[in-house]
Amino acid sequence: MDGEGNERKFALSFSSEEPYERWWGNEILDHASGAVDLARLNEIGVVLFNHNRDSVIGRIIRARLGDDHRCYAEIEFDTDEQSEIIYQKVRSGTLKGVSVGYRIDTIEEVLAGKTTADGRFTGPAEVVRRWCPYEVSIVSIPADSTVGVGRQVEEIGPGTPLDILERQLQINKNSI
């Protein structure tokens, strides 16, 4: 599963609790039990290149939540020309960055110097308490440099268009 030989499968980590600075402040994806809904990713999840919906380069074989508060996936690259280019870059080690596209269901806002209800995070931050990954992307510049290809236990990047972020904020307003 490491991409050696003709094997087109890779194990990778695609998310963690590393704070990410968004334009409105720090965002943390909670990885506690029950926080991440992996059903959609396991049923119809795809691998994209740089979050481009028109650049499907593979599929998710299996996604899971690890005991170390990270999400992991086994992926398999497709064999078309576009996928082959990215596959070769991952195989050679040129591309290692991974990111995740997701829907936010519930957020806990944490003020500066305060801690979350469970005491795990300190503000200022917005902790995404319930979320659903839609896709995993191989990316040239990852938002979270602690995850990626080859970063496994045996686990929306900075280029996300503003309209997607605005829709996420609207979803959260409507669910409160």
Q: What is the DSSP string of 110-155?
A: E-BT-B-TTSS-BBSEEEEEEEEEEEEEEESS-S-TT-EET-----
Query: What is the spatial distance between Cα 65 and Cα 85, in angstroms, rounded to a whole number?
Result: 29
Report, as an integer, the average pLDDT of 56-75: 96
Whether the Cβ atoms of residue 30 and residue 24 lie closer than 8 Å to each other: no
Chain segment 32-64, per-residue pLDDT in tens: 999 999 999 999 999 999 999 999 999 999 999
Chain segment 150-172, per-residue pLDDT in tens: 544 333 344 444 544 444 444 44
Chain segment 7-24, per-residue pLDDT in tens: 799 999 999 999 998 888
Which pLDDT band holds residue 83 (cuts at 50, 70, 90)? very high
- Give the containing element (helix H, strand E) for 89: helix 81-92
- The owner of tokens 């990047």 is 157
